[in-house]
Amino acid sequence: MAVRVQAQPFDYGAECAAFANAATGAGAVVTFCGIVRDNDGSLLGMDIEHYPGMTERALADIEEQACARWSLSDALIVHRHGPLAPGEMIMMVATASRHRAGAFAAAEFLMDYLKSRAPFWKKERTAKGTSWVAARDADEEALKRW
Partner 1 sequence: MTVTVLYFAWLRERIGLPRETLETNAATVADLIAELRTREDRYALAFSDLAAVRVALDQELSEFDAPLAGVREVAFFPPMTGG
Contact residues toward partner 1 (CB under 8 A) are 34, 49, 51, 53-54, 57-58, 79, 90-91, 111, 114-123, 132-135, 140
Query: Is 26 or 81 the residue whose CB approaches partner 1 more closely?
Result: 81
Query: Is 98 or 126 the residue whose CB approaches partner 1 more closely?
Result: 126
Beta strand ranges found along 36-128 (DSSP E)? 43-50, 74-80, 82-84, 89-97, 120-126
Q: Are 20 and 75 in contact (CB under 8 A)?
A: no
Report the nearest approach of partner 1 to the CB of residue 68 (Å): 19
Sign of the Cα pseudo-torsion (38, 110, 53, 9, in order): negative
Q: Is 3 helix (H, G, I), strand (E, B) or coil?
A: strand
Report the nearest approach of partner 1 to the CB of residue 40 (Å): 19
Rounded alpha-carbon distances, angstroms, from residue 33 to 70, 77, 108, 128, 138: 20, 10, 12, 28, 20
Report the nearest approach of partner 1 to the CB of residue 34 (Å): 5
Query: Is 66 or 91 the residue whose CB approaches partner 1 more closely?
Result: 91
Whole-number Å distance between alpha carbons of 110 and 91: 12
Query: Is 98 or 123 the residue whose CB approaches partner 1 more closely?
Result: 123
Q: Is 125 helix (H, G, I), strand (E, B) or coil?
A: strand
Report the nearest approach of partner 1 to the CB of residue 64 (Å): 14
